[in-house]
Chains A and B, each alone.
Chain A
Amino acid sequence: MTYYMLSPRSSAAGRRPMTEDEMKHTTEAVLELEAEIKSAGVWVFGGRLHEPSTATVVRPSGDGVMTTDGPFAETKDHLGGFYVINAKDLDDALGWASKVSSLVQTAIEVRPFVDEMTS
C-alpha cells in the first residue's frame, strides 16, 4: 500500500459561482463519495479549506520570521482542500481521483508520499 495525496486545483477564475441548490447537491455527493472512500478502507485524512483570503503566510526573514497576510500572491490556483488515501497502487489511487474529479469538475493531482506515514 502507498499513501497518495489527491489535491484538486480549484481555480476561482473563469468559473460561474454555484447556485445554492447546486452547492447543496455537490456537498451531498462529496459526502457520499467520502463515505465510499472510507468504507473501502483507503481513507486516511481529508478536508476542505476556507477561501485563500483567510490565509496567513510566515516566511524566513533575517534571523527570524515575518508574518504577513496571505495567501502566496504568485499562485493563480488555490488549494481548496485535499485527501490523503492509502491505495494499493497508482491505478487504485487514480480510480478514486477520477471519481473526485468528475464530481467536483476540477483537475486532481495525484502524488505519492515518500515513506509510509506514521498515523
Chain B
Amino acid sequence: MTRDKALIGRIFRSESGRATAALISLFGDIDLAEDAVQEAFAIALSKWPVTGVPPNPGAWVTATARNRAIDRLRRDARGAKLLRDVAAQASTSRSSSEPSEGEVVPDDRLRLIFTCCHPALAPQAQVELTLRLLCGLSTADVARAFLTSEPTMAKRLVRAKHKIKTAKIPYRVPEQSELPDRLPRVLTAIYLTYTTGQARPAAEPDLGAEAVRLGRILRLLMPDEPEVAGLLALMLLTESRRASRTNAEGELVLLRDQDRTRWDRKLIEEGQALVRWCLRRDQPGPYQLQAAIAAVHAEAITFQGTDWHQILALYDQLIRVAPTPVVALNRAVALGEVYGADAALREIDDLALLDYHPFHAARAEFLQRLGRAEDAARAYRAASSLAPNGPGKQYLRQQAETLS
C-alpha cells in the first residue's frame, strides 16, 4: 500500500501542473484549482489501488479535478454564476462543457509559467509559486526546499496569489515583442531552482530534478526559442556530473578530480544534441554559451585534456552578451588554465565581488598554485565563511586548514 501510495504520488505530481493550469484557465481562480487538484489526488489514492492506474492518468486527473471544482462552485450563489459564465463561454468556444475522461486536455502550462514568473512578483516568489503550481510540490516541500517553515512559506504563497488576483496579473503567454523582457525571467526562475538544488545535492525535494523537469516542459512548449534549449542543455550537462560531484562521504569533488567514467553519458548526449541544435540556429545567448562551455567540459576525457582555448573563446563571447562580474570571474578561471595563475589573479583582483564566495575560492586556488600558501589559506577562509552550508563550504574549510 505504501508503495502504491508513493507510485500514485509520483504519477499524480507529474500530471498535476497540467491539471492546475487547465483549471485556472477555466475558472480563473488559483485557490479553487489547487484545492480541486488536491481533492482529485485524494480520490486517486483511494481508487487507483483498486481499479489500477487509468490508461490516460493526465486526462483522468484533469477531468476529476474539474468535476470537484464544479461541485464546489455549485454550492454557493457566486460560484453558480461563475459556472454559468464558464458554460456560456465553453459553448461558444468548445463543443461541450461536460468533462469526459477520454478528451485531449489543452496544455495551459505555458500561460501559468508566465503568470508565476511575472516581473510584478518578487523573484523568490516566482520560483516558489512555480514549484507549487507547476511542479505540484506541497507547501511543506517548497518550505523545506528554501529552508523555511511551512507557515512562513504558506504566507508567502498566499501573498503572491493575492497579488495575482488583486492586481490582475494576466494569465497569458506574452506576445513575441514582449518575450525579450519576459522570457529571461522564466529562465532565471528555473535556473535559480536548479542552482539552489545544486548547493544541497542530497536534499529532498530534489530541486535539480524539478528544474530539469520544468526545463523539459518549457522546451516542449517553446520549441523555437534557442535560449530555452540552451537552458535545458546547460542543466542536463551539469546534471550529468551529479554522481561524481560528491564522494561517498558526501564531500565535494572538484571538476579536475572527478571520476569521468561516472558521468551520465545519456544526459551528456542529450545536452550535446541541444547545443548542436543551438549552434545551427546561430542566435547565441547567455544560456546557450554556458551550455556550450559545459559541452566542451563533457567532451574532455581528462581534466588536462580539456580544450581550454575553446572554453576561453566561449567566455569571451559570453562576456559580450552578459558583461557581469560573475562571468568575468569564470572567464578569469579559464584564462588561468590557458595563460597561468598570474594572468588569472590579475583579472580576478580587479573584480568587485568581495561578498561572493566563488571569488575568494578562485583566488585561493590560484594563490595556492603560485605557492603563496598563507594568502591562499586566508582566501579559503574568506570563501568558506561566505559559502552556504553544504559540501562546498566543508571543502573550503578543509583547504584552509590544510594550508595553515
Number of chain B residues close to chain A: CB under 8 A: 9
Residues of B close to A114: CB separation below 8 A: 166
Contact A89 B120 (CB under 8 A): no
Complex: A111 Cα to B168 Cα, angstroms: 10
A side interface size, CB within 8 A? 10
The DSSP consensus for interface residues of chain B is loop
Mask, B118-150, CB within 8 Å of A = 1, is 101000000000000000000000000000000
- Contact residues of A: prevailing secondary structure: mixed
B169 & A89 in contact (Cβ 8 Å cutoff): yes
Q: Is the CB of A89 within 8 A of B170?
A: yes
Q: Does B167 contact A (CB under 8 A)?
A: yes
* Smallest Cβ-Cβ distance to A87: which chain B residue: B168
Contact B120 A94 (CB under 8 A): yes
Chain B residues closer than 8 Å to A94, beta-carbon distance: 120
A to B contact number (C-beta, < 8 Å):
23
Say if the beta carbon of A101 comes within 8 Å of chain B: no
22 A–B contacts from the bound complex (CB under 8 Å): A2-B167, A2-B168, A88-B170, A89-B168, A89-B169, A89-B170, A90-B118, A90-B120, A90-B167, A90-B168, A90-B169, A90-B170, A91-B169, A91-B170, A91-B172, A91-B174, A94-B120, A110-B167, A111-B167, A112-B166, A112-B167, A112-B168
Docked CA distance A31–B96 (Å)? 50
How distant is A89 from chain B, measured CB to nearest CB, in Å? 4
Q: Residues of A contacting B169 with CB < 8 Å?
A: 89-91
CB distance from B120 to the nearest CB of A (A): 6
Additional 10 contacts, C-beta under 8 A, given A89-B169, A90-B167, A91-B172: A2-B168, A88-B170, A90-B168, A90-B169, A91-B169, A91-B170, A111-B167, A112-B166, A112-B168, A114-B166
Q: Mark A80-95, 1 if CB is under 8 A from B, else 0.
A: 0000000011110010
- Which A residues touch B167, using CB under 8 A? 2, 90, 110-112
Contact partners of B172 in chain A: CB under 8 A: 91
Q: Please report which residues of chain B, range 156-195, place their CB below 8 angstroms from some CB of chain A when the two chains form the complex.
A: 166-170, 172, 174
